[in-house]
Structure 1
Amino acid sequence: MDHLNTHTLEEARAAKSRAQEVFEALVKVVGVGITRVENGYGLKVNLLTPPPADAILPTEVDGVPVRLEVVGQPKKR
């Protein structure tokens, strides 16, 4: 059996608020969303600025994989 991500949408939704708490304590978070990861779902944490070079950030929350993206300050449309 391979180790591809097979987390369900429900599992990703359940981990979303926890991820918000975890990452806000470590870096400046713009928002947390759900994204496709391999054959399942994961979390996408949007950051205001790149994390410090020495920051140790989790790669998963409650077993759900996390992807980071620096998006900067959201702009009004």
Structure 2
Amino acid sequence: MTDLPQARAAKEHLRERLRDRAGVVGVGIARSAGGYCITVNVADADAAGEVPADVDGVEVRISVVGGITAQA
């Protein structure tokens, strides 16, 4: 079971790792059956291939959401 502090630490490690990767549009934390997991939103399937399945023992879930644009 992953607790929230563990998920937060893993999220920061993953954010650093993916910071310069094209197509990664967001990194967050969500509840899962085992406590918490990391969520990664990507623009396309190519970017999804750059994301690991887990970080520091914390599950990573990937969602292909397309490009993100600001709206007024």
TM-score (norm 2): 0.78
Structure 1's consecutive aligned runs of 4 or more residues displaced over 6 angstroms after TM superposition are none
What are the ranges of 5 or more consecutive residues in structure 1 without an aligned counterpart? 1-5
1:69 lines up with 2:63 in the alignment = yes
Q: How many residues align?
A: 71
SS of corresponding position for 2:18: helix
Q: 1:11 deviation in Å?
A: 0.7
Matches within 5 A, 1:1-77: 6-24=1-19, 28-51=23-46, 55=49, 57-75=51-69, 76-77=71-72
- Code of the residue aligned with 2:61 in structure 1: it is R
Maintained 8 Å contact 1:26/1:57: no
Higher helix share: 2
Q: 1:57 deviation in Å?
A: 3.8
What are the ranges of 5 or more consecutive residues in structure 2 without an aligned counterpart? none
What's the RMSD between the two structures over aligned residues? 2.3
Maintained 8 Å contact 2:23/2:47: no
TM-score (norm 1): 0.74
Q: 1:24 deviation in Å?
A: 4.3
Q: What percentage of aligned pairs have identical amino acids?
A: 41
Maintained 8 Å contact 2:23/2:44: yes
